Amino acid sequence: MRVELMQNLLGDNDTVAAENHQLFNANRVLALDFMGSPGSGKTSILERVVRALNDLRIQVIEGDVATANDARRIEEAGAEAFQINTGGACHLNAMMIRQAISQLDLTATDVLLIENVGNLVCPAAFHLGVHHRLIVSSVPEGDDKPEKYPVAFRGCQGVILNKTDLLDNVDFDTERFWSLCRQLQPEAVQFETSCPSGVGIARLCEWLRKQLSAPTTS
Ligand SMILES: Nc1nc2c(ncn2[C@@H]2O[C@H](COP(=O)(O)OP(=O)(O)OP(=O)(O)O)[C@@H](O)[C@H]2O)c(=O)[nH]1
Ligand SMILES: [Mg+2]
């Protein structure tokens, strides 16, 4: 596990994101950016995915303000993890990803999973060059999150509703949540997951495998 502290990085984000995208394509790496509120379950989902897809060569980049806790969890699940500590910044940017991937062997990677810093606002504004952006939203956060954070939900290719095991304990209208998601981004693929039991992870992994052979998008 390598840990880097990155701050005050310069560069035109979109230009570097486009270069990252070309690098992923040139090396046939499927890259995904997982965005969501702190504690929505991003790392828990990635742990499950890493365990389920152990026949693929997966690298994980973990973005956090501080600690290498999440990279450690991913390595325990069986994938290599590269921890970026932003030192205060509330999102990853394309330059941070560029620096991280320059230290990874992309030629020996099938899938790059990036966990963004827990936040539903700032990460949406900074493209990293991935093929798909997935939002992890969880039941205890409430069913109005798409409405309150429209930029993130409008700009994603998929939404994972996590912690569905808590639906009986929380006032959450699943229909309303998905309806709001569809209004903002009708194309986004929808998943429902629960990490303690693993419900929904197989479908997410099946979708991910299909993207390995699908034409790339930006
Ligand atoms: N009940 C329930 N708890 C979950 C589920 N997924 C994750 N959790 C719990 O939610 C808490 C936060 O999970 P993490 O996976 O660390 O969340 P995260 O989004 O990676 O958090 P940050 O990296 O801090 O933004 C942990 O206590 C998990 O055990 C779920 O599906 N159901
Ligand atoms: Mg995490």
Rounded to the nearest angstrom, the distance between the alpha carbon of 79 and the centre of ligand 2 is: 15
Q: In ligand 1, which atom is closest to the CA atom of 162?
A: 31
Give, using CA atoms, the residue closest to atom 6 of ligand 1: 41
Q: What is the C-alpha to C-alpha distance for residues 91 and 45, in angstroms, rounded to an integer? A: 19
Helix (H) or strand (E) holding 43: helix 42-52
Q: In ligand 1, which atom is closest to the CA atom of 38?
A: 25
As a whole number, the mean pLDDT across the chain is 94
Q: What is the C-alpha to C-alpha distance for residues 82 and 72, in angstroms, rounded to an integer? A: 9
**Burial of 142 by CB count in 10 Å (0-12 exposed, 13-18 middle, 19+ buried)?**
middle
pLDDT band of residue 214 (cuts 50, 70, 90) is: confident
Rounded to the nearest angstrom, the distance between the alpha carbon of 11 and the centre of ligand 2 is: 26
**Could you tell me if the CB of 125 is within 6 A of ligand 1?**
no
| Count of CB atoms situated within 10 Å of the CB of 6 | 17
Give, using CA atoms, the residue closest to atom 25 of ligand 1: 38
Q: Which domains does the chain have, with CATH numbers?
A: 2-213 (3.40.50.300)
pLDDT of residue 218: 46
Q: What is the pTM of this model?
A: 0.95
**Could you tell me if the CB of 70 is within 6 A of ligand 1?**
yes
User: Does residue 196 sit in helix, strand or coil?
Assistant: coil
Does the pLDDT of residue 189 top 70, yes or no? yes
